[in-house]
Amino acid sequence: MHINRVFICAIIWSVLGIATLQASEHVLDEHIAAEFGMEFAQNYLQASQVYDEMWALFPRSSDGALLYPVYYGGHFFSEKGNLVFNVVDGHLAEAETGIFAELLKRDCVEVREVRFSYQALLLIVDDICCFVANNPDDAREVITWRIDAPGNMVVVGISGYNEEKEAVFKRNVMDSPMVKLEAGRAVEPIIPRVNKNASTPDSALQLQPGVRIYIDELGFSAGFPAARGQQAGFVTALHGLPLEGQAVRLGSVSGAEVGNVTAPIRFSGSADGAFISLHQADFSRTVDGRTLTHSNIRPSQGMILVSVSTPPDGTMRIQRNIVVTNAHFNANMGGGLVLTDMIQTTGHALYGESGGLVFRPVGNSAQVQGVIVGSDVASVTGDNMFFAWSEAVNHAIGVVQE
């Protein structure tokens, strides 16, 4: 199996169109200010507006694929809340007169010169994806790889990393100045365990983002409302489990039957998703006091998000101020199965939280970003939660977000 990143990007971007600007909706978020400080919150507010504008300016090919300018070296939100724009060495004049010229002059934008272009880093990631997918035995110890925008490099996590394994990687995979090797932390999709005693309290028995659902006595969390053709429903993540046609129950294994799992169920590449068709179209469009909205703006490293899901104890929880630690996170799931372009965060995810909603708070809107997939294997608290981007999931399972 060959994973062609350019082809994947072309498919994803073909359904995006031009980003819808929502800068007018941006307001100072009190939760962000309370945790990170007022100065950070004010900087982040302005930088978020600029980020949305920047997203709309990226050129696309005729088939919708994103085209990175030769001077573009990536971007991220800094610890001060500013937007950092990486410019490749020797190309500063092009950047200052190019399509982002006006944005780079904003007070909340920091311009920094780096060595490597973002396109070059993406090609490195693609090569590693192909090696892992095509050589599952030789790639067992290559467990994660990601683009580190602040470091301007690709960071590869090796199981039991030492000098000998570094030499093996450089000999068998690649030896590049764009790659940094480190001790890796294995991740896994949070496959739900049977927990018949943990049910959502009666007061929360409403079809809404994050609520506990049971399928064949396995607990998941609901994601976001969507439609497949004329059928109303919602999206969750089932990790490719063979649950097609199974009844979906709300709150507990004996709860009301609200719908059924509808094919296709996807768990590969950049998607982990499944569509639940509802018997009645009554899925809530509000979460945490905000209205759910569609957004095709991909999360960036340093962006602050919110998740809502139901952990093993059966009580829904909202995790605010989750920070994106990597916007292009890739994981070797074994047997040639590779998850690509996931978004990793500082959030937590345990059994039963698979499929829960991740959103970006923008004023009174909750911009849907994706569904929870997994977390660190060895962490008892489900550290480093990662999720699948909603646009990739929607395309993979053929739904339209409502």
Q: How do residues 113-127 score in pLDDT, each as one tens digit?
A: 999 999 999 999 999
- What is the overall mean pLDDT for the chain? 89
pLDDT at 18 over 80: no
Exposed, middle or buried: residue 177 (CB in 10 Å: 0-12, 13-18, 19+)? exposed
Residues of the chain with CATH 3.30.300.50: 117-184
The CA distance from 152 to 344, in Å, is 17
**Spatial distance between the Cα atoms of 278 and 67, rounded to a whole number of angstroms:** 39
Q: What average pLDDT does this structure show over 308-335?
A: 93
Amino acid 200: pLDDT: 53
Structure tokens that stand for 206 in this block: 């409403």
Give mean pLDDT, residues 239-263. Answer: 93
> For 279-290, what is the mean pLDDT?
92
pLDDT value at residue 73: 97
Per-residue pLDDT, 198: 54
Q: Give mean pLDDT, residues 137-155.
A: 95
Measured CA to CA, the distance from residue 352 to residue 331 in angstroms comes to: 21
- Flag whether pLDDT at 234 surpasses 50: yes
Q: Which range, of 11-25, 35-49, 272-286, 378-392, averages the lowest pLDDT? A: 11-25
What pLDDT shows up at residue 17?
Answer: 40
Residue 197 has a pLDDT of: 55
Which pLDDT value is given to residue 193?
59
Would you state the pLDDT for residue 3?
45
- In a 13 Å sphere around the CA of 159, the CA atoms on its Cβ side amount to 14
Distance of CA 148 to the CA centre of its chain: 15
The CA distances from residue 212 to 89, 172, 275, 287, in Å, are 50, 45, 15, 15
Q: Which of 4, 271, 10, 270 is nearest to 130 (CA)?
A: 4
User: From CA 280, how far away is CA 122, in angstroms rounded?
Assistant: 43
Beta strands in 58-152 (DSSP E): 72-77, 83-88, 109-114, 142-148
Residue 12 has pLDDT above 80, yes or no: no
The pTM of the full predicted model, rounded to 2 decimals, is 0.90
State the span(s) of the chain assigned CATH 2.40.10.120. Answer: 187-402
Residue 194 has pLDDT above 60, yes or no: no
Task: Evaluate if residue 202 carries a pLDDT over 70.
Answer: no
Q: pLDDT-derived band of residue 13, with 50, 70 and 90 as boundaries?
A: very low
Lowest mean pLDDT among 22-36, 77-91, 106-120, 274-288: 22-36
Please indicate whether residue 113 or residue 199 has the higher confidence score (pLDDT). Answer: 113
**pLDDT score of 24 more than 70:** no
User: Is the pLDDT score of 201 beyond 70?
Assistant: no
Average pLDDT over residues 25-51: 93
Mean pLDDT value of segment 55-60: 91
Give 336's pLDDT tier (boundaries 50, 70, 90): confident
Euclidean distance between CA atoms 228 and 232, whole angstroms: 7
- The CATH architecture that domain 117-184 belongs to is 2-Layer Sandwich (3.30)
Spatial separation of the C-alpha atoms in residues 308 and 314, rounded to whole Å: 13
Q: How far is CA 263 from CA 146, 166, 198, 225, 239, in A?
A: 30, 42, 27, 16, 13
pLDDT at 23 over 80: no
Residues 169-190: what's their mean pLDDT?
93
pLDDT at 270 over 90: yes
Residue 54's pLDDT is 95
Confidence of residue 185 (pLDDT cuts 50, 70, 90): confident
| pLDDT classification of 314: cutoffs 50, 70, 90 | confident
Q: 3-class DSSP state for residue 11?
A: helix
Residue 5: predicted pLDDT: 47
The CATH classification number of 18-59+69-114 equals: 3.30.300
State CA 37 to chain mean position distance: 26
**Check whether domain 187-402 has CATH 2.60.40.10, yes or no:** no
The mean per-residue pLDDT over the stretch 384-396 comes to: 95
